[in-house]
Structures are given as C-alpha cells and as structure tokens.
Amino acid sequence: MVKIGWSLLHLASATISLSSATIHISSHRHIQTSNIASAPIIDLGYAQYQGVYDSVNNVTSYLGVRYAAPPIGDLRWRAPQSPANNSSAGVQQANTQPNPCPQASTGDASTNPLEGQSSLTRRADAPGTGPEDCLFLNVYFPGDTIPTKPFPTLVWIHGGGYISGGADTFEGSDLLREANNEIVAVIIQYRLGLFGFLPGSEVKANGTLNAGLFDQDFALRWVQSHISQFGGDPTKVTIWGQSAGAGSVLQHIVAQDGQTSPQLFRGAITSSTFLPSQYLYNDTIPELLYSEVVAQTNCSSADDSLTCLRSVNETLLETINTNLNVEGFFGTFLFVPVVDGTFITQRPTEALKQGKVNGKALLAVTNTNEGILFVNQTNPITNVSLYAGTLFPKFGPTQDNETAEIYASLGTPLEQDDAIMAESIFICPSFYLLSAFPNSSWKGQFAIPPATHGEDLDYYFPSSGTPGFNNTQFLAAFSGAFLSFVVSQDPNDKIAPTITPFWDMYSNGSTVMVFNQTVDDLPDIHVDTADASQLERCSFWNSVGALTGQ
Ligand SMILES: *[C@@H]1O[C@H](CO)[C@@H](O)[C@H](O)[C@H]1NC(C)=O
Ligand SMILES: *[C@@H]1O[C@H](CO)[C@@H](O)[C@H](O)[C@H]1NC(C)=O
Ligand SMILES: *[C@@H]1O[C@H](CO)[C@@H](O)[C@H](O)[C@H]1NC(C)=O
Ligand SMILES: *[C@@H]1O[C@H](CO)[C@@H](O)[C@H](O)[C@H]1NC(C)=O
Ligand SMILES: *[C@@H]1O[C@H](CO)[C@@H](O)[C@H](O)[C@H]1NC(C)=O
Ligand SMILES: *[C@@H]1O[C@H](CO)[C@@H](O)[C@H](O)[C@H]1NC(C)=O
Ligand SMILES: *[C@@H]1O[C@H](CO)[C@@H](O)[C@H](O)[C@H]1NC(C)=O
Ligand SMILES: *[C@@H]1O[C@H](CO)[C@@H](O)[C@H](O)[C@H]1NC(C)=O
Ligand SMILES: *[C@@H]1O[C@H](CO)[C@@H](O)[C@H](O)[C@H]1NC(C)=O
Ligand SMILES: *[C@@H]1O[C@H](CO)[C@@H](O)[C@H](O)[C@H]1NC(C)=O
Ligand SMILES: *[C@@H]1O[C@H](CO)[C@@H](O)[C@H](O)[C@H]1NC(C)=O
Ligand SMILES: *[C@@H]1O[C@H](CO)[C@@H](O)[C@H](O)[C@H]1NC(C)=O
C-alpha cells in the first residue's frame, strides 16, 4: 500500500509537470520534460532507477544515481564501498539532482599558514553545507530508449579546487548535443575538502588517503560494470575534467604507476589542469593539517584520534572544513591529493617523466591567463621573490630569488605573480602531460580575452552559463574538437565539419591550436607553436618539483 501511494505521488507530480511544461530538478535549473513514466527503468542489481525523458533536447537522464554506500560513520576516510542492496525499495525516480558534497572556499590570507609565519586560527563559524552522503552520479543518453548501438562514453569530473563543486551545474545534454548524439555522458561527484583529502600518517594507518580520488576510481569502475545498461561502451571511455577535475584526470593517468587494471579509460581530456603542491602524506604540511582538524574537534586527547574524528558531528566537521580552507594563502587550497604510497606512488611529475601512464591518448587545453583569479589583484605581493616563497613554502632564498630572476622580464610585479601562478600550477603540468603521450596528444589554447581560468566552461556547457563569444561557428569548432576526440580519439576526425584547420599532434613541432576571437568579433582559430620561453620556464618548475611538491 505504501508503495502504491508513493507511485501515485510521482504520477501526480508528473501530471503537474506536463501542464506547466517544466519541473524543478534542483535549485539551479529547470528542464523541459514530457512523460516521465515513459523513461526506461534500469535495474543495477542493487537498485532500480527510472530516468526522465527531456523531449526538447531528446535526451534521457538519470540524476542522482547512487554508486557507493554513504561514506559516513566508520566509512569516513575509507575507500568507497558498494551500495547496500536497495532493490526491495522498488523503483527510484532518478529525476532530482544530487546534493553536492560539503563545500568550502578558496584561501584568502595574505600570508601562508603552512609556512609557519602565521597559524591556522579559527574564524567565525561558517555553516555546514552537507550532506556527507553525496556519492552519486548522473547519466545521460540520446533519445528516449536505451541506445542499441553502444556509444563511446564520456565521464566528466567537475572542478572546484578539490574543495567545492558538484554535478548539478553541468548539463549533460549539452555534451550529447555537441557530440551529435553519438555518446553517453556520466557526471560524477566525489568527496571534497577534509572529507575527501584528510592527509597524515594516521589516515594511512587506519583509513584511506585520497578518498576523493578513490571515489572517482570507484565511479569509473561502476561505469565499467553498468554503462552498457545505458547504451554506453565501457571499452571506449574518455575522462574529461576542468581545473581540479583535470587535475583528477592527471591523477588517474599516473595512478598505480600507469598499471590500473582493468584499464578504466582510453582517452583523457584536461581543461586547465590544476596541480597544486602534492606532498608525501606524512610530510610536515599534511601532518599539520591533520593535527589542526584533531585540535579543532577536541580529539587531541583521544587514544585513537582518527576513530574520534569518525564520530564527530558532520556539521562541526563541515564548519572546520570551511574555516580551515579559507585560512590558506590567497588562491590556494589546503585539502588536496597527497602522495599516498599505493594509489599515487610518487610525485605526479616524476611518473609523467617516466611515462608511467594509464590511457592511450590525451587532449590538453589551457587558458591564456590561468593565474589572475588566484592572485589578489587589489593587494598583490609586489616582491616577486617573496610571492614565490609564499606560494611554495618549501622554497628557500635560492629558489625564491631564481623564480624572481626568471620572471623579472614579464611585466609588472603583479603580472609576474600572475604568470608564476598560471605556469607553475596550471600550464606547465599540462605540458608535462602532453610529453607523456608522445604521438598521441593534442594541445589547445583558449585565448578569448580575458581568457581567465574557467572561461572555457561556458563553451562546453552553454546552458549552464553564457559563452562570452556567442558565435555559432566558434562554438561548433571548439566544443566539436573535444567531442570528436571522445568519439574517435582524434580531434581531426570530426563528427561534423567545422572551421578548425588540421590539428597536428603536440609532438610534431610543439603544435598548439589557438581558439581566439578577432577584435571584429570573428572566430580566430589557428595553428601556433608552444612559446619556447614558456617551455623553458616549465623546465625550471619541473626541476624544483621536489620542493613545490609536484
Ligand atoms: C538484491 O536483492 C534482490 C531481492 O530483493 C535480489 O534479487 C538481487 O539479486 C540482489 N542483488 C544483489 C546485487 O545481491
Ligand atoms: C581502526 O579504526 C576503527 C574505527 O574506525 C577502530 O575500531 C579500530 O580500533 C582502529 N584500528 C586500529 C588498529 O587502530
Ligand atoms: C533506497 O530506496 C529508497 C526508496 O526508493 C530511497 O529513499 C533510499 O534513499 C534508498 N537508500 C539508499 C541507501 O540508497
Ligand atoms: C531522438 O534521438 C533518437 C536517438 O538518437 C533518434 O533516433 C530520434 O530520431 C530522435 N528524435 C527526434 C524527435 O529528434
Ligand atoms: C613517511 O613515510 C615514508 C613512506 O611511507 C617513510 O619512509 C618515512 O620514514 C616517513 N617519514 C616520517 C617522518 O615518518
Ligand atoms: C573543545 O573544548 C573546549 C574547551 O573545553 C571548548 O571550549 C570547545 O567548545 C570544544 N570544542 C568542541 C568543538 O567541542
Ligand atoms: C550536529 O550538530 C548540529 C548543530 O550543532 C545539530 O543540530 C545536530 O543535531 C547534530 N547532529 C548529530 C547527529 O548529533
Ligand atoms: C585582497 O587583499 C585585501 C587585503 O588583504 C583584501 O581586503 C581583499 O579582500 C583581497 N581581495 C580579494 C579579491 O579577496
Ligand atoms: C623580497 O623578499 C625576499 C624574501 O623572499 C627578501 O629577502 C627581500 O629582502 C625582499 N625584498 C625587498 C625589496 O623587500
Ligand atoms: C637575486 O639575488 C641577487 C644576489 O643576492 C640579487 O642581486 C638580485 O637582485 C636578486 N634578484 C631578484 C630578482 O631578487
Ligand atoms: C546565442 O546565439 C544563438 C544563435 O545565434 C541565439 O539563439 C542565442 O539566443 C544566443 N544566446 C545569447 C545568450 O545571446
Ligand atoms: C586573442 O585575440 C585578441 C584580439 O581579439 C588579442 O588581443 C589577443 O592577444 C589574442 N590572444 C592570443 C593568445 O593570441
């Protein structure tokens, strides 16, 4: 009886949606829907989900599909586990965006607390953002019936500095349209901030370091097991992320020394790779972060601090997550991946140098001005040597000075800071990735002014934002390159004709495809080569990787 009542409730809401033509699927967006009841029911073995057919976009979506058990209580800071069998609960309506994992915000301090110049003191309590139970994903396939021809599968990993973001701001149907409806798309969530990236030797001893990366890995394994039920081809998976999502792609490329089994993806796309300092899990900085969390939860006197932390009220931990992250140096993020010794065995740049990679092909795009958002533009550190040392606390006077010397000719001190941030953390890591895929990687540059970090996102997801340059030819060319790569692993093998000229591989003359706009508002897409002086600066950053933690 309960079950019938519940179904009727959904029929009622479907009727309402038909009459009003839209329903709310989250606080962020609406979609047009027709007959909800007609979308296929998919039985995952542990749960059954019915999707929603969107007749305007001719796409069926499954929103908020659970892929792991709630990572709460004793599962905090442990590898994700399979969901409990919920089949007896009947069919679940996958029509609601999942809540994002608990969020925090970027550091905004003028000094770096990890350097010993200041301390991680507690600020006014920020509210918790919950819920911790957030390991869900969304699946999208073209049409209203499960595709019979298995389509290449695209998995999108959201960004947000490993401390923020969620699936609900990325409209999967945009990706399907850009791919001429020839793909299945999956958008995943993963634990963030101290929930996903609590470091330290205690976590190593009785938990899982980099839990957020394990969540992503688990979601990719879910794709291997289940995507064929949605019409996706598990042998043709491409993983794509932006910012920390691209940083995550980098992590999966170097995971398990490039020997991940089974192989979870063939193609990788990075948009503005974010590679912050990634220290060994028991380095002084990760241990400092762990002990701060312990201190702020009053777990210091517990015999077993980690077990104590596992029983701390979720809301309190969320508050501490927010408080601590905002204490970081301006534009930096505190809870990020570490070298854990098993999943990530060494500094990522070392693995890339050794060519120990998962995946067969790579498309890497960076924006011209990646650094600006992460440097305080109104109150910058104008002593560039001091800026370098503040950004990388393990630098000594020699590296501070060397950095300042190398950047001295690049404009004002503020512009030099911008370039240091852009190149060390976003642009150079993208070049290291490209070099790890000789004869199978392509480099793009998004250059439309202001070409700051994140400006490219609206071009992949135009219904989530408004592209600054709303030009049909440009949009088709730019997004078409990515989706062609997803379908056939080569941006030249176009799913539809575009104005983009032949795009040679990066290994052929350091080729870069520049995506720009002329002053007369015309698309300007042309072949260029990587800036040799920038590559020289990248060699410097590569040489100091042991100190930057990259
Ligand atoms: C879940 O339980 C149902 C019965 O409710 C059973 O048919 C199914 O095989 C179980 N699934 C798994 C994965 O054990
Ligand atoms: C590991 O943590 C669990 C609680 O999550 C605790 O019960 C157990 O005693 C711990 N084991 C060790 C060896 O510390
Ligand atoms: C099991 O299904 C019920 C009803 O469909 C749903 O409310 C509940 O959240 C599910 N439980 C889990 C752990 O997914
Ligand atoms: C919807 O998509 C399916 C699968 O791609 C296609 O067969 C069908 O013709 C499309 N329908 C409309 C109305 O475009
Ligand atoms: C940190 O961990 C590494 C590898 O597990 C170990 O060799 C090293 O001794 C540890 N360092 C400290 C200070 O405990
Ligand atoms: C920790 O202990 C101090 C001193 O007893 C107390 O003032 C504070 O409220 C406690 N904090 C938490 C999070 O329990
Ligand atoms: C956690 O703390 C919040 C705020 O203090 C409180 O409302 C909530 O009931 C607590 N939750 C649990 C599970 O104790
Ligand atoms: C830059 O720093 C100043 C002074 O520390 C601060 O007031 C301002 O909020 C910072 N700018 C931003 C964008 O946070
Ligand atoms: C700039 O900062 C460095 C520390 O990196 C310091 O040694 C030097 O004195 C500072 N220069 C000026 C002009 O303040
Ligand atoms: C680097 O150090 C040398 C020697 O101390 C000094 O002359 C030079 O000005 C420094 N360069 C920068 C950019 O601070
Ligand atoms: C973008 O251009 C398309 C086609 O020219 C138009 O339909 C759409 O309204 C434009 N969007 C915005 C936000 O200007
Ligand atoms: C992009 O085009 C603008 C003119 O619209 C130009 O000012 C800018 O330098 C170009 N960027 C690059 C990286 O070529």
Q: Which residues line ligand 4 (CB under 6 A)?
A: 58, 142-143, 181
Please, which pLDDT band fits residue 431 given cuts at 50, 70 and 90? very high
Residue-level pLDDT at 38? 75
Q: Assess if residue 519 is contained within a domain.
A: yes
Q: Assess if residue 31 is contained within a domain.
A: no
Q: Is the CB of 263 under 6 A from ligand 2?
A: no
Residue-level pLDDT at 130? 76
Lowest pLDDT segment from 30-34, 197-201, 502-506: 30-34
- The predicted-structure confidence for 479-504, as pLDDT tens digits, reads as follows 999 999 999 999 999 999 999 999 99
Rounded-to-integer distance, Cα 486 and Cα 483, Å: 5
Q: Assess if residue 175 is contained within a domain.
A: yes
114: part of which helix (H) or strand (E)?
none
250-270 average pLDDT score: 98
Residue nearest to atom 3 of ligand 1 (CA): 87
Q: How far is the CA of 202 from the centre of ligand 2 (A)?
A: 10
Residue nearest to atom 4 of ligand 3 (CA): 89
As a whole-number percent, the residues of the chain with pLDDT over 70 amount to: 91
374-401 average pLDDT score: 98
Q: List all residues 6 or more positions away from 191 whose beta carbon is below 8 Å from its beta carbon.
A: 71, 101, 134, 135, 197, 211, 212, 215
Q: Assess if residue 9 is contained within a domain.
A: no
Residue nearest to atom 2 of ligand 11 (CA): 470
- pTM above threshold 0.85: yes
Q: Which atom of ligand 12 is nearest to the CA of 519?
A: 5
376-385 average pLDDT score: 98
Residue 93 burial by CB count (10 A; 0-12/13-18/19+): exposed, middle or buried?
buried
Q: 305-309 — which CB contacts under 8 Å span 24+ positions? A: 305/202, 306/77, 306/202, 306/203, 306/205, 306/206, 306/207, 307/206, 309/76, 309/77, 309/198
Q: Assess if residue 276 is contained within a domain.
A: yes
Residue-level pLDDT at 129? 78
Residue-level pLDDT at 3? 27
Residue-level pLDDT at 11? 26
Nearest to 25 by CA among 93, 101, 86, 102: 93
Please, which pLDDT band fits residue 119 given cuts at 50, 70 and 90? low
300-317 average pLDDT score: 97
Q: How many domains does the structure of the chain reveal?
A: 1
CATH code: domain of residue 502: 3.40.50.1820
Return the higher-pLDDT residue of 9 and 103. Answer: 103
Please, which pLDDT band fits residue 121 given cuts at 50, 70 and 90? low
Residue nearest to atom 1 of ligand 3 (CA): 86
Please, which pLDDT band fits residue 29 given cuts at 50, 70 and 90? very low
Q: Which atom of ligand 12 is nearest to the CA of 516?
A: 1
Residue-level pLDDT at 464? 85
Please, which pLDDT band fits residue 123 given cuts at 50, 70 and 90? low
Q: Assess if residue 56 is contained within a domain.
A: yes
pLDDT at 426 over 80: yes
- The predicted-structure confidence for 158-167, as pLDDT tens digits, reads as follows 999 999 999 9
Mean pLDDT of the chain: 92
Please, which pLDDT band fits residue 409 given cuts at 50, 70 and 90? very high
Pocket test for ligand 9, best of 385, 405, 420, 547 (most atoms within 8 A of CB): 385
Structural contact between residues 167 and 187, judged by C-beta atoms closer than 8 angstroms: yes
172-199 average pLDDT score: 98
Nearest to 420 by CA among 364, 372, 350: 372
Residue nearest to atom 10 of ligand 10 (CA): 401
Query: Amino acid identity of 385?
Result: S
- The predicted-structure confidence for 72-91, as pLDDT tens digits, reads as follows 999 999 999 999 999 999 99
539-550 average pLDDT score: 98
Rounded-to-integer distance, Cα 546 and Cα 550, Å: 7
Residue-level pLDDT at 391? 98
Query: Amino acid identity of 272?
Result: S
Q: Which atom of ligand 8 is nearest to the CA of 330?
A: 14
Q: Assess if residue 344 is contained within a domain.
A: yes
Q: Which atom of ligand 6 is nearest to the CA of 296?
A: 13
Q: Which residues line ligand 1 (CB under 6 A)?
A: 45-46, 85, 87-88
Q: Which ligand is nearest to the CA of 44?
A: 1
Residue-level pLDDT at 27? 32
Q: How far is the CA of 381 from the centre of ligand 9 (A)?
A: 11
- The predicted-structure confidence for 56-65, as pLDDT tens digits, reads as follows 999 999 999 9
- The predicted-structure confidence for 506-530, as pLDDT tens digits, reads as follows 999 999 999 999 999 999 999 999 9
Q: How far is the CA of 465 from the centre of ligand 12 (A)?
A: 22
Please, which pLDDT band fits residue 124 given cuts at 50, 70 and 90? low
Please, which pLDDT band fits residue 19 given cuts at 50, 70 and 90? very low
Range of the domain at 419: 36-116+126-548
Residue-level pLDDT at 465? 86
pLDDT at 442 over 90: yes
Q: Assess if residue 235 is contained within a domain.
A: yes
Rounded-to-integer distance, Cα 376 and Cα 109, Å: 10
Q: Which atom of ligand 3 is nearest to the CA of 92?
A: 5
Residue-level pLDDT at 387? 98
DSSP string of 368-421?
TB-SGGGS-SSS----HHHHHHHHSTT--HHHHHHHHHHHTTSSSHHHHHHHHH
